[in-house]
Amino acid sequence: MTQPAQLRTETLALAVIAALVLWRLAIAALVPVTQDEAYYFDWARQLAWGYFDHPPGVAVLGLTTWLEPGSAVMARLGGLGAGLITLLVLASFYRHCGFTRYELALALLVVGTTLPALIGGVITTPDTALALGWALALHESERALAGARRRWLTAGAAMGLGLLGKYTMVLICPIVLWALLRHDWRALRTPWPYLGAAVALIVFAPHLLWNAQHDWLTMRFQLGHGLATDMGTLAATQLPPPEPLSSGERVASVAEYVATQLGLWGALLVVIGRKVVSGVDATARRSMLGEMTPPARSLLVAATLFPLAFFGVIASFSSVEANWPAMALLTAAPLLVRWVGDCWRWVLGAAVANVLIVSIYAVQATTGIMPLPEGFKRLGRETHGFAELAAVVTMLDAPVFADRYQTTAMLRFYTHNQAITQWPGLTRPSEYLRGETAPRVALDTIKPPLWIVARAAQLPPQPGLHCTMKRAVTACPPGSAPTAPCPQPLQVWHLHWCDTKR
């Protein structure tokens, strides 16, 4: 490729990245903060090397919430920045893999317009940090396999950083090891791969030490959450071990897993279906992989198939959330572009369709311009009405608690300075019950009266307290007529006044 042609290719790739980033900024400014986001952003108030639910990566991304408390777009700036860096790293990785001309721009367009990328590119989650670590590890591993063996040091650092985002990063290890044994096994006679592993361990070590000092809290929670096992102690509260699946349930679980993973492509699934129907001959398969460097080919294929296969096995005996193997899309996207060949118009149309679908849904969920079926109102329930609830809570004349960690997080996000925390024993435990992010609830020292904000109209008996529901706060669907109460509320919270039993 001549230098001007290369410049045009890079310019087109940067234009795709810029368009994706601008779209993400617009949606981030439109959509209010979600409940889990508010929970993660709250961790940024008290940075630590670990938390009840996850490693600290997502908390670091939430540091921008301090720029303007209560602002969703400001709180999301850290995640948006991480997403931008991920796209730039992937662009470099794809180029080193051998993707040229319009393939590079199309690969970036596809990877940025799958449904997890469109949603996760805006909503800050641990997967945001995982995607960045995963992309960096692939990039540096490819460079090391291409001959720059010292890059195993930076590959190790990327793996450690990814582990600080989400434990799923550990799946990159067998992928990279397989590529290393296949293409540069002689590197094992040098110190660089071992030093890279040592760097990964050093980067991850503070979190390991934190877990050791806190009864392995995060790791036990994640093990139980991911593999549906009994976690014991605090992490197992109100989460009994599940019953084994029957043979029929196993088949149904795997089938659901496969269908869900296909659905993550959105409209791009039409392109895949069209190619399958038209048939794929041996020449097309060779063309898809033949122009890549051998190490790049191994990394792309293994990083796509291994996470999907791993969680497919997990799905045979436990439930698997749709986003768990989503990092496979980072390498599946360029393979799809190469596979469909010259069908770039179909790819472009499907990518635009995905953007339109998610955009329309985001606008509808926040404005209520058009009616939505009941099953599509999740985003509204995730975000709507909490600012108004927080305004009511600030007027209460006694300490305030909430039943769920999600409600606690949203109230703290919108009130910021109020010492609201989760009341124990009502729903599953969370970071709030540790007393680090928010004040600990000590039942033997707390002095009534107090308020408890709960979903339920009636609380279970609370030791030493007599609780009465005093008021219900209703969130009407966005765009509905300002009537009180609205006929079909989106959600309802109950304010319980609790005082000493007489």
Residue 7, pLDDT > 80, answer no
- What percentage of the chain has pLDDT greater than the value 90? 67
Q: In the prediction, which pLDDT does 423 show?
A: 93
More confident residue, 371 or 74: 74
Which tokens is 24 given? 């993400």
Residue 253, pLDDT > 80, answer yes
Virtual torsion, Cα 237, 238, 239, 242, nearest 10 deg: 130
Cα gap 316→74, rounded to integer Å: 41
Q: Grade residue 482 by pLDDT with cuts at 50, 70 and 90.
A: low
Calculate ∠ Cα 198-200-203, nearest 5°. 110
Virtual torsion, Cα 438, 441, 445, 449, nearest 10 deg: 100
Which tokens is 426 given? 């009502």
Residue 238, pLDDT > 60, answer no
Q: In the prediction, which pLDDT does 223 show?
A: 83
Q: What is the pLDDT of residues 13-29, one digit of tens each?
A: 999 999 999 999 999 99
Which residue reads 């572009």 in tokens? 337
Mean pLDDT over 229-256 rounds to: 64
- What percentage of the chain has pLDDT greater than the value 70? 89
Q: Tell me if residue 472 falls in helix, strand or coil.
A: strand
Residue 376, pLDDT > 80, answer no
User: What are the start-end ranges of the H helices in 98-216?
Assistant: 102-113, 115-120, 126-145, 151-165, 172-183, 192-213
Nearest CA among 65, 184, 204 for reference residue 124: 65
Which tokens is 89 given? 């790293």
Encode 227-246: b = buried (16+ Cβ within 10 Å), e = exposed.
ebeebeebbbeeeeeeeebe
Where does residue 421 fall: left (phi above 0), alpha (psi -120 to 50 degrees), or beta otherwise?
beta
Burial (CB count within 10 angstroms: exposed 0-12, middle 13-18, buried 19+), residue 375: exposed
More confident residue, 242 or 39: 39
Q: What is the pLDDT of residues 436-471, one digit of tens each?
A: 888 878 777 788 899 999 999 999 998 888 999 999
Q: Grade residue 274 by pLDDT with cuts at 50, 70 and 90.
A: confident
Q: Grade residue 107 by pLDDT with cuts at 50, 70 and 90.
A: very high
Q: Grade residue 243 by pLDDT with cuts at 50, 70 and 90.
A: low
Nearest CA among 119, 114, 133 for reference residue 60: 133
Q: Grade residue 49 by pLDDT with cuts at 50, 70 and 90.
A: very high
Q: What is the pLDDT of residues 150-207, one digit of tens each?
A: 999 999 999 999 999 999 999 999 999 999 999 999 999 999 999 999 999 999 999 9
Q: What is the average pLDDT value for the chain, to the nearest integer?
A: 88
Q: In the prediction, which pLDDT does 485 show?
A: 67
Q: In the prediction, which pLDDT does 502 show?
A: 67
Q: Grade residue 488 by pLDDT with cuts at 50, 70 and 90.
A: confident
Q: What is the pLDDT of residues 303-337, one digit of tens each?
A: 999 999 999 999 998 889 999 999 999 999 999 99
Mean pLDDT over 112-119 rounds to: 96
Which residue reads 């996207």 in tokens? 333
